[in-house]
């Protein structure tokens, strides 16, 4: 058998055409120049991929799609092809490496139970347990911690209250996958005994919390929100859970996640927005954001790859921290995109996020990307001494002149008024504002093929087994279709995109030399995709309520790499001058008799 026949697999497929053999050689690295030139020519000539082309290419990846699969893939594959051209147009010197990290140093011996250094929090005015259960349920960690430490309220009482609220409102919100009630009550009893004995561990001791059901907890299901994994039980314990247990926090629920970390649709339901239960809560940290906003738990843990903390916090009016990439270990958490996945807290205030982050950050020897960097709370710097940038073009009222549709213009105008009000608040508290613009030298959207390629790799077995058909959402913008598209991304294009990512990271670092933090409309321009690719931290928090429907809106603060404490300080100062985060959704107690 000659080399061409062997590599193409023609022996197993006697009717394979010459074209398919050439494609097989391309996949094996033989004749790849011809193959890539053909792809480049298609993009340059504006030609479109057809279902027949996808069918011809399938066997290279060892896949076989249905006609419906191919129809779903068409738009995305052609967008990626257009993106290839934009990426190829960027000149790359040989000295530019891909934005990939590899370490030949073996992982350090496991030490997931590292105790965090004590941290301080703002003085609390809470001296007595509120008479209203609602007031207690919506209290921030700073107040709950003061009440528990003073033994005005017990951890067991708080745990039972939040468990009851989860049971009451879950039929309405669909935010719970599994209650960890038995373990939670034992943890709460232990916390009360320790506190009574004077063994107070810190601000999270005895505080009930919930986790996005991507994190493994022995003895309980870890479903990833997806039908193929809904009965999965994993033996490892996620580092985040271990560290919060060490701090004395009480895990009460594993909360809903859009299937495999996309959206708010999971195998059993769609998680709802507490402010408007006719809406989904967005995702994929759907359950954590909804439960936090509805006062069903003290705080929660979410994850983000491309907006999965930012988006549901915006929809539900919660406050979320997406830390610098690598600040929090992902051990025991479902992998989606190894170079973009991040873990962060969702809470009712910026300071609550800081208290949780202070507990969970740092290297654990189990996630190669996790690093140790200093974190100080409260920060020693006065925010008035900081340079806070604002993306000038996104706050400019002249944007409205280009919008022809009156209804769209009114909607954008309202959001713009909220955004500009943020700048007024920052000026009022003495913040030094500096106009900036995001770097736009390189194409950002096409670089998201990095996410698609890594996610398709993470769930390659699911796609090849055909069990991706079991996922609830089978539409263009859903994982089954995205995973199939990912199978068609050449390794050369993936690495080229990562090399451009290196250049983008350099541009962002140069921008951040001029400011300590910057503020932007949450979904303005390329900011969300850009900073998720570069790994910069952000805080998202409510900054208004729509005139129609009364649902929350948000603003985003972005910080320097590993400047999470400074970032939180600026967001905390803004939140201290406003009261949007103190508002509560108008939830009505479901009618138990009807289940509504």
| Residue 350 CA: distances (Å) to CA of 207, 318, 535 | 17, 10, 20
| Residue 184 CA: distances (Å) to CA of 41, 142, 292, 590 | 60, 21, 17, 24
The pair of three-digit structure tokens given for residue 263, joined into one six-digit string: 């959206």
* 3-state DSSP helix/strand/coil % of the chain, to nearest 5: 45, 15, 45
Cα–Cα distance measured from residue 483 to residue 470, given in angstroms and rounded to the nearest whole number? 14
Rg (CA), the chain: 25
567: burial class by Cβ within 10 Å (0-12, 13-18, 19+)? buried
Cα–Cα distance measured from residue 434 to residue 387, given in angstroms and rounded to the nearest whole number? 7
114 dihedral zone (left: phi>0; alpha: psi -120 to 50; beta): beta
CB-CB contact of 206 with 192 (8 Å): yes
Q: What is the DSSP string of 439-482?
A: --SS-SGGGGHHHHHHHHHHTHHHHHHTGGGGSS--SSSSHHHH
Helix (H) or strand (E) holding 304: strand 299-304
Question: Helix/strand/coil (H, E, C) string of 524-536?
Answer: CCCHHHHHHHHCC
Cα–Cα distance measured from residue 288 to residue 487, given in angstroms and rounded to the nearest whole number? 31
| Residue 258 CA: distances (Å) to CA of 324, 477, 512 | 23, 13, 33
Q: Which residues of 259-278 are buried (b: 16+ CB within 10 A; e: fewer)?
A: bbbbbbbbbebbbbbbbbbe
3-state DSSP call for residue 426? Answer: helix
Q: Which of 574, 589, 508 is nearest to 543 (CA)?
A: 574
Sign, CA dihedral 491-497-503-504, equals: negative
Catalytic residues: 212, 284, 308
**What is the length of the chain?**
596
Cα–Cα distance measured from residue 387 to residue 385, given in angstroms and rounded to the nearest whole number? 7
CB-CB contact of 567 with 559 (8 Å): yes
The pair of three-digit structure tokens given for residue 588, joined into one six-digit string: 């009505």
Cα–Cα distance measured from residue 61 to residue 24, given in angstroms and rounded to the nearest whole number? 9
């Amino acid at each position: 058998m000659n080399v061409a026949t062997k590599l193409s697999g023609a022996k197993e497929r006697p009717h394979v055409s010459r074209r398919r053999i050439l494609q097989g050689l391309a996949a094996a690295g033989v004749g790849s120049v011809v193959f890539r030139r053909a792809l480049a020519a298609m993009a340059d000539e504006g030609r479109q991929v057809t279902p027949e082309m996808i069918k011809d290419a399938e066997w290279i990846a060892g896949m076989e799609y249905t006609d419906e699969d191919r129809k779903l893939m068409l738009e995305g594959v052609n967008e990626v092809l257009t993106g290839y051209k934009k990426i190829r147009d960027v000149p790359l010197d040989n000295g530019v490496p891909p934005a990939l990290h590899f370490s030949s140093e073996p992982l350090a011996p496991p030490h997931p139970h590292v105790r965090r250094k004590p941290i301080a929090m703002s003085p609390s005015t809470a001296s007595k347990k509120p008479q209203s259960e609602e007031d207690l349920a919506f209290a921030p960690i700073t107040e709950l911690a003061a009440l528990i430490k003073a033994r005005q309220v017990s951890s067991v009482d708080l745990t039972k209250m939040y468990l009851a609220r989860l049971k009451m409102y879950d039929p309405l919100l669909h935010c719970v996958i599994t209650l960890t009630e038995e373990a939670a009550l034992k943890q709460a009893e232990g916390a009360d005994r320790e506190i009574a004995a004077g063994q107070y561990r810190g601000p999270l001791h005895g505080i009930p919390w919930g986790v996005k059901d991507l994190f493994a907890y022995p003895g309980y299901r870890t479903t990833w929100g997806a039908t193929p994994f809904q009965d999965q039980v994993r033996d490892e314990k996620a580092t985040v859970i271990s560290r919060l247990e060490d701090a004395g926090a009480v895990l009460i629920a594993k909360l809903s996640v859009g299937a495999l970390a996309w959206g708010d649709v999971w195998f059993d339901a769609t998680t709802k927005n507490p402010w408007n239960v006719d809406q989904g809560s967005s995702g994929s940290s759907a359950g954590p954001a909804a439960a936090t906003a509805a006062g069903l738990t003290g705080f929660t843990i979410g994850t983000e790859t491309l907006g999965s903390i930012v988006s549901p916090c915006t929809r539900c009016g919660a406050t979320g921290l997406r830390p610098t990439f690598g600040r929090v270990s992902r051990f025991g958490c479902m992998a989606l995109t190894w170079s973009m996945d991040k873990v962060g807290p969702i809470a009712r205030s910026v300071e609550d996020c800081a208290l949780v982050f202070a507990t969970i950050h740092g290297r654990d020897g189990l996630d190669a990307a996790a690093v140790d960097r200093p974190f100080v709370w409260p920060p020693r710097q006065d925010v008035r001494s900081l340079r806070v940038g604002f993306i000038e073009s996104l706050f400019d009222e002249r944007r409205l002149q280009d919008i022809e549709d009156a209804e769209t213009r009114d909607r954008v105008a309202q959001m713009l008024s909220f955004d500009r009000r943020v700048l007024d608040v920052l000026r009022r508290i003495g913040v030094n504002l500096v106009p900036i613009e995001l770097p736009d030298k390189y194409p950002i959207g096409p670089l998201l093929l990095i996410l698609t390629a890594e996610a398709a790799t993470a769930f390659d077995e699911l796609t090849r087994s055909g069990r991706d058909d079991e996922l609830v959402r089978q539409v263009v913008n859903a994982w089954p279709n995205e995973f199939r598209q990912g199978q068609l991304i050449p390794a050369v294009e993936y690495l080229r995109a990562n090399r451009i990512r290196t250049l983008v990271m350099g541009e962002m670092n140069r921008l951040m030399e001029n400011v300590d933090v910057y503020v932007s409309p949450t979904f303005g321009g390329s900011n969300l995709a850009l900073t998720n690719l570069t790994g910069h931290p952000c805080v998202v928090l409510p900054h208004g309520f729509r005139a129609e429907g009364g649902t929350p809106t948000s603003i985003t603060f972005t910080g320097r790499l590993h400047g999470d404490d400074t970032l939180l300080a600026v967001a905390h100062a803004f939140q201290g001058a406003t009261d949007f985060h103190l508002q509560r959704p108008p939830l009505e107690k479901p009618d138990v008799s009807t289940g509504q």
